[in-house]
Structure 1
C-alpha cells in the first residue's frame, strides 16, 4: 500500500508511476476525497475542543451555584454534531483506505518500461538447450507413459486442473521438495517453517491478494478464511504487527506448501499438464530486509532460486518484468523461465520480487533502527525456489530418452533412493 502522506505530497510521482504501469488512476478525485477527510477531521476536532470548553464552563457555573441549563443545551447540540462528524470521518477514512488498497506499487526506476510480457528484456541465459535426435514429447505425455500422471482420476475426485501423482513421479515430487529445502537451508542460510494452508482475510490483505484479487482465491464457505495461493501469504504475515530489532535483519524463511488458485480468467490456455493447476506444490523464499539493502537482497534471492536450476542442470533464462507486466504489489521482479523442449519455449518457473515497503505498510511489519527514536518499515522480498510441478515438467522434457525413460538429474539421485532412471511400464522386466 502506498503511503498516504507520500501520495498527498507527491501526486506527480504517483501519477508518473501509474502511467508507467498503464494503470488508470483518477488522482484528482482521490486528492479531493482526502482533502474532504482532512477538513472533516479538523471540524470534528474543533467541535470537540468547543465541547471541552463548554463542559468546563458547566462545571464552573455549578460550583458557583448558577444555572447551567443554557450551556448544557448547547452541549447537547455539540454532541450531536460531533457524532455526525465522527461517522462522516469514519466513512471518509474507509473510502481513503479502500482507494489505497486498490492502487498498485510504484515501479522502481530500474524496472524497464513496457506494455506487456513481449517487452520483458532478457537479463541472462544460462545453459544450452539440448538437441534431440528423436521426436520430443510434452511432459504430460511423458509422465502418462511412466504411469505417473493421472489426470482422469483427479478429475473424478476434484474436477479439471488437478492431478494424481503415482509411483516414481509421486516420489519425484517429494524428492524435489526435500532437495530444494535442503539446498536453501544448508547453502543459503534460510530457516525452514511449516505454516497453515488456511489463512484469514487480514493475512491476504497484508500481502496484497485482498481486496483486489478475491476471485483468484478459494474461500471457505461460511468463513472469512481462504486456502493459501502461495506460502508468501502465511510466511510474510508471521511478523505482521511486529517490530523487529535491526540486528534481526535480514529474516530469511523457506517453506514448502501446497498452493491453491482458482486461475480465474485463464481458462482456455495452459490447460494441459502441470503448468497451470488449481493445486500445486511450491517451495517459497521470503526475506524481510533493511530498506538500504533490499535491491542487493533481491539479487541474492534470485541467485538462490537460480541455484536450484543450476544444480538440476536445466537450461533457463532470467527476464526483468517490464512495468506493464509487473505484479500489483511489486516494485521490481525477475522471472526465471526454464526451457521446455516439448513446447519449444521458455516458461516461468519462479518470480523473484522486491515489494519495498508496500506489503510491510499493509501488514505493519517494522524494525527499530539502532540509535533512532522511530521505527521504520522493513522491505519484503520473495520468490519461488521453485514451483515443484513446473520443475518436474522441465525434468520430464529435458531428460527424456529415446526409449521413453527419463534420466534422474544427478543432484536428485540421493533423494530418489539411488534410482537413476524412471522407466515406462513397457521397459520394465
Structure 2
C-alpha cells in the first residue's frame, strides 16, 4: 500500500514511479479524492464542536431548551449522520484505489519494459560440455517416472505424477533445502495452512488485482500460490520487538496457480504447473536492515545451487519486469542444457513497507512509544520442481540415466544414480 502522506508530499515522484512501470499518472486523481475526504473530516469536526456547544446550552437551560435550539440540534444530528456515511464511502473508495497501485521501485532498479531489459549481475559455474545431445527434462523424465498422461486423466493439463525414484528425488530435494536453510542459515521452519482468507492475500498483494491467477474454494478460502502468503501474514496486525528482528522463516508447501495470464507459455513438461512444491524464505526486518537482508537472502538461495553443482546466473529485474509488491527483485536462473537457456528458479524480493502497510505489521524499539512499519522480504529457496528439472538435465548420461548430486545422496539412502525403467507401474 502506498503511504498517502508521502504521496501528498511527492505527487510528481509518484507519477514518475508509475511511468517507470509503464502506467499512466494517477497522483491528481488520488489527491482529489483525498482532499474531498479531508474537507469532509474537517466539516464533521466543526459540526461535532457545534453539537457539543448546543448540548452545553441545553444543559444551562435546565431541560427547557428553546424550539430554535432543538431544531438546530436535530438538523445537525442528521447532517453529522449523513456526513459520517459519506466519509466511510470516501475512505473505502480511497483505500480501494490505493490498493491497486504497485510498490515504489528502488532507485537502483534499472529502467526497462520486460525481461529483455533485465541486468545480469553475476554467474556461477561452467555449463557442462556433453559428448551427446542432452535431452529436455520431459523427454528424459518419461523414462524415469515422470507421468503426464495419467496426471492429465486425473486433473487435466499442467499436472504431473512422479513415480518411484523421481518421487523420492523430489522429496530429497525439499528436505535438503529445508535442512540447509534451518541448520546453516538461521531460518525457522513453520508448517503453515495451505488455505487462507481474503485478508491474507490482500496483505501480501495478490488481492484484489490478481485474483484470476488463484484458485478459490467453495468455502471462500483460497489455495496458497506460495508460502510467502501464510508466512508473511503470521505477523499481520502485530507490533514486534525490534530487538528480535530479523525474523527469518521457511516452509515447504505445495503451491497452486491458475496461470491465467500464461496461456501458451511453457506448456511442455514441468516448467509451469498448476500445482508445484516450493521451499519459501521470508524475512521480517527493520527498514535499516532490509537491503542487507535482501542480499543475504539471495546468497542463501544461491547456496542451494552451489551445493547441487548447478550453473546459474543472477539478474536484477528491470522496472517493467518487477512484480507488483516488490521494490527490488533478483532472479536466480539455472542453466538447463536440454533447452540451452537459463530459466528462473528463484525470485528474491524486497517489498519494503508495502506489504506491512496492508497487513498493519509494525515494530517498536525498546523504551520507545513510537511504532513503525516493518520491512518484508520473500524468496524461493528454491522451487523444488524446477530444481528437479535442472538436476535431470545437467546430470543426465547418454544411456538415459541420471547421476544423483552428492549433496542429495544421504537423503536417498546413498543412491548414486537414477535409471530408466524404474517407475513402479
What range describes the TM-score normalised by the shorter chain of this pair? over 0.9
Q: Cα deviations across residues 144-177 of structure 1 (Å, max 9, x unaligned)?
A: 111x111111111111111111110100111011
The 8 Å contact of residues 15 and 24 in structure 2, kept in 1 or not, is answered as no
The 8 Å contact of residues 369 and 376 in structure 1, kept in 2 or not, is answered as no
The 8 Å contact of residues 297 and 379 in structure 2, kept in 1 or not, is answered as yes
2:259 corresponds to which residue?
263
- Give the TM-score taking structure 1 as reference length: 0.97
Instruction: State the 1:20 CA deviation.
Output: 1.6
What pairs with 1:4-153 in structure 2 (closer than 5 Å)? 4-63=4-63, 66-146=64-144, 148-153=145-150
Root-mean-square deviation (Å): 1.3
Q: Indicate whether 1:297 and 2:267 are aligned.
A: no
In structure 2, C-alpha distance between the alignment counterparts of 1:76 and 1:155, rounded to whole Å = 68
What pairs with 1:131-210 in structure 2 (closer than 5 Å)? 131-146=129-144, 148-210=145-207
The 8 Å contact of residues 62 and 68 in structure 1, kept in 2 or not, is answered as no
The 8 Å contact of residues 318 and 337 in structure 1, kept in 2 or not, is answered as yes
In structure 2, C-alpha distance between the alignment counterparts of 1:299 and 1:306, rounded to whole Å = 11
Greater displacement, 419-428 / 252-261: 419-428
In structure 2, C-alpha distance between the alignment counterparts of 1:22 and 1:267, rounded to whole Å = 22
Runs of 5+ consecutive residues of structure 1 not aligned to the other structure = none
In structure 2, C-alpha distance between the alignment counterparts of 1:114 and 1:269, rounded to whole Å = 22
In structure 2, C-alpha distance between the alignment counterparts of 1:329 and 1:349, rounded to whole Å = 19
2:331 corresponds to which residue?
335
Instruction: State the 1:427 CA deviation.
Output: 12
Q: Indicate whether 1:234 and 2:235 are aligned.
A: no
Q: Cα deviations across residues 277-307 of structure 1 (Å, max 9, x unaligned)?
A: 0000000000001111111110000000000
Instruction: State the 1:370 CA deviation.
Output: 3.0
In structure 2, C-alpha distance between the alignment counterparts of 1:267 and 1:121, rounded to whole Å = 26
Runs of 5+ consecutive residues of structure 2 not aligned to the other structure = none
Q: How many pairs align?
A: 424
The 8 Å contact of residues 413 and 420 in structure 1, kept in 2 or not, is answered as yes
In structure 1, C-alpha distance between the alignment counterparts of 2:361 and 2:422, rounded to whole Å = 56
Instruction: State the 1:425 CA deviation.
Output: 1.2
In structure 1, C-alpha distance between the alignment counterparts of 2:173 and 2:336, rounded to whole Å = 18
In structure 2, C-alpha distance between the alignment counterparts of 1:31 and 1:67, rounded to whole Å = 43
Q: Structure 1 residues 296 and 153, CA, compared in 2 at 3 Å: closer, same or farther? A: same
Q: Structure 1 residues 80 and 231, CA, compared in 2 at 3 Å: closer, same or farther? A: same
The 8 Å contact of residues 227 and 253 in structure 2, kept in 1 or not, is answered as yes
1:423 corresponds to which residue?
419
Instruction: State the 1:67 CA deviation.
Output: 4.0
Instruction: State the 1:426 CA deviation.
Output: 8.3
The 8 Å contact of residues 407 and 420 in structure 1, kept in 2 or not, is answered as yes
In structure 1, C-alpha distance between the alignment counterparts of 2:133 and 2:29, rounded to whole Å = 59
Q: Indicate whether 1:247 and 2:276 are aligned.
A: no
Instruction: State the 1:74 CA deviation.
Output: 1.4
Instruction: State the 1:70 CA deviation.
Output: 2.4
In structure 2, C-alpha distance between the alignment counterparts of 1:427 and 1:9, rounded to whole Å = 63
- Give the TM-score taking structure 2 as reference length: 0.98
Helix, strand or coil for the counterpart of 1:82?
helix
- For residue 276 of structure 1, the aligned residue among 267, 272, 275 is 272
The 8 Å contact of residues 217 and 223 in structure 2, kept in 1 or not, is answered as yes
- For residue 214 of structure 2, the aligned residue among 217, 232, 235 is 217
1:384 corresponds to which residue?
380
The 8 Å contact of residues 354 and 382 in structure 1, kept in 2 or not, is answered as yes
Helix, strand or coil for the counterpart of 1:175?
helix
In structure 2, C-alpha distance between the alignment counterparts of 1:358 and 1:254, rounded to whole Å = 21
Helix, strand or coil for the counterpart of 2:342?
strand
Helix, strand or coil for the counterpart of 2:268?
coil
1:356 corresponds to which residue?
352
Q: Cα deviations across residues 233-257 of structure 1 (Å, max 9, x unaligned)?
A: 0000001000111111000001000
The 8 Å contact of residues 198 and 221 in structure 2, kept in 1 or not, is answered as yes
